[in-house]
Structure 1
Amino acid sequence: MPGSLEVVTAAIEPHRAAYDLSLDRALSSPEIASAVGRLEFEWADVCSGWTVQQRSRVLLDRAEGPRVDFGWTLNAWEAKSGQRYRFIIRRFFDGLETEETRGEAELGDGNGPGRARFEDPNGFEVALPAGTVFPTAHSLEILAHATKETLPFWRLVFDGSGDDGGLSGVSVLPVAAYAPGERELPLPEGSSGAELLADEPGWRVQLAFFSPGEVDALPLHEQTLTLYGNGVADNLLFDYGDFSLRARLVELEALPDPGC
């Protein structure tokens, strides 16, 4: 699918987006009383590669017990060749950092095989099987498959998070498609960035994340989102099992041209 990936990559709009998080009651346990939060996301072109910055904070109230305040940040760089990746992930609880994970990974030609090296919290290495991709390359592949109407598809994705050495099997299923100018949800009144989505086609997709080699088991967690042709995402649903969070786009702006 090289030609499709080139077309998809050329259409990406480096951007900064902010989302309001709320509890999806229909998919959450009755034991969860409420949840609110904020997700901030930036996808930038830095000429040598792509950078992604993500920051999230969630305040979750259970029917019994104290409020839970948790969040995380991600800072990552990925080569445009898709062969190198660096990441720092920090987790927070009650406003205090509880964990930091950092490392780097490299793939051979044609998506592997390769290796990931974790520096923190304890140095170790993880083998990356042939066919592994990094997160930005995976996002571009989703768009390429959606454009060519060749969903579903499955991939091994390494992002450095999780309990399986940062490696997950990800199944991507089609849910719906939207013509240019058609949106599920309007941007809130007064928000900026609506013009960036005005003429973009969109695809609603469901991602199911599995431990590597366990695709016949139940997924560890799932995400459903609408992905537009320029890479902007909206109406994200994060299903963690006992509760689900919905993220709705409230702010959107294009980033300056890096002048590569």
Structure 2
Amino acid sequence: MRLLIGTLALININLALSGQSYAGVAEALIPHRAVYDLELQQASDRSGIESMYGRMVYEFNGSACSGYTVGFRFVTQLDTGGTVRLTDQQTTTYENLEEGTFRFLTKSYVNEKLDLEVRGSARAETDGTAVDLTTPRRAKLNLDRAQFPTAQMISLIERAKKGDRFFQSHLFDGSEEGSKVMLTTSVVGSPKVSGDENSELEVTGDFADLPTWPVTIAYFDETKNEDGTPVYRISFELYENGITRDLIMDYGEFALKGTLASLETFDGEGC
């Protein structure tokens, strides 16, 4: 299942940040480990889902000069009434902003058995995105020009700070077996400081009084000419340091709510 990852991470506005802008926003990103409790927010009758819950762990490390690593684990238990299925997606990525390169590995387990492994690398080029897949098949792909997740996150924060409220971009994050670029549409609200009634503020600690942008990102598969609805949509509150809370992950037939349960920050590597 797709997250922001990084998730959070927007072109045909191009990789259009200057080196100075990249450095300014990147320096504000905080290495951290965030744990989210997941619960079913809603499910249609057609989905067949009676209950669903789980946990998501997102760990972000690195710097603009050494590159960024992301570790992501998404575990859910789904009950349809007749069957119970445990899914476990484990992803690790490395992204180098200066070189425009990206490495990815995802292992997906169903009921504790490996169901799919995807491994490869990608490079941003002037006319597209060159992808080298090694697993589950060996292939070299030339895809549309796109950003990688951390570069997209930096671009999102930069545009939000400038007051941009609606924009589109293309993203390659290694999902869809590493074979597709997704069109993303982002809607960013005005920054705000949440009230005391938000239970996640206690977890965010020193960041509780900082403003957040309400963000919604929709992901579209342009290879499918259907009714124009997104494959997936995620909403969250975004801090300028890259930390997120109040997640809603909408897959169409069902939606999951992610509540920030714990947050640990690390010392940055610096440049």
Shared fold per TM-score greater than 0.5? yes
**1:225 paired to 2:217:** no
Following superposition, the deviation at residue 91 of structure 1 comes to 0.6
Following superposition, the deviation at residue 164 of structure 1 comes to 7.3
Q: Secondary structure at the match of 1:57?
A: strand
Q: Secondary structure at the match of 2:183?
A: strand
Equivalent in the alignment of 2:105: 88
**1:49 paired to 2:62:** no
Determine which of 229, 242, 245 is the counterpart of 2:253.
242
Q: C-alpha separation between the residues in 2 aligned to 1:249 and 1:223? A: 15
Q: Do the aligned partners of 2:70 and 2:92 also contact (CA within 8 Å) in 1? A: yes
Equivalent in the alignment of 2:133: 118
1:167-220 residue CA offsets vs partner (Å, 9 max, x unmatched): 1111111245314x768833276x4x411x134321111111111366872111
**1:58 paired to 2:73:** no
Q: TM-score, normalised by structure 1?
A: 0.88
Q: Name the count of aligned residue pairs.
A: 250
1:136-193 residue CA offsets vs partner (Å, 9 max, x unmatched): 11111111111111121111100110267131111111245314x768833276x4x4
**1:161 paired to 2:178:** no
Following superposition, the deviation at residue 243 of structure 1 comes to 1.0
Q: Secondary structure at the match of 1:230?
A: coil
Which range moved further: 169-178 or 13-22? 169-178
Q: Do the aligned partners of 1:107 and 1:128 also contact (CA within 8 Å) in 2? A: no
**1:104 paired to 2:124:** no
* Higher relative contact order, structure no. (Cα contacts within 8 Å, ≥ 6 residues apart): 2
1:48-86 residue CA offsets vs partner (Å, 9 max, x unmatched): 200000001001112x31112112011000002260000
AA matched with 2:113: L
1:198-250 residue CA offsets vs partner (Å, 9 max, x unmatched): 34321111111111366872111111111111000111111111111111101
Q: Percent identity?
A: 29
Q: Do the aligned partners of 2:143 and 2:180 also contact (CA within 8 Å) in 1? A: no
Q: C-alpha separation between the residues in 1 aligned to 2:180 and 2:143? A: 10
Q: C-alpha separation between the residues in 2 aligned to 1:149 and 1:248? A: 27
Determine which of 212, 218, 225 is the counterpart of 1:208.
218
Against the structure 1 CA distance between its residues 183 and 147, is the aligned structure 2 distance closer, same or farther, given a 3 Å change threshold?
farther
Q: C-alpha separation between the residues in 1 aligned to 2:186 and 2:135? A: 30
Q: C-alpha separation between the residues in 1 aligned to 2:53 and 2:243? A: 22
Determine which of 47, 51, 70 is the counterpart of 1:34.
51
Q: TM-score, normalised by structure 2?
A: 0.84
- Counterparts in 2 of 1:169-188, with a 5 A limit? 169-179=183-193, 185-187=198-200
Q: Do the aligned partners of 2:29 and 2:241 also contact (CA within 8 Å) in 1? A: yes
Against the structure 1 CA distance between its residues 235 and 58, is the aligned structure 2 distance closer, same or farther, given a 3 Å change threshold?
same
Equivalent in the alignment of 1:24: 41
Contiguous gaps of at least 5 residues in structure 2:
1-16
Following superposition, the deviation at residue 124 of structure 1 comes to 1.2
RMSD: 2.3
Q: Secondary structure at the match of 1:145?
A: helix
Contiguous gaps of at least 5 residues in structure 1:
none
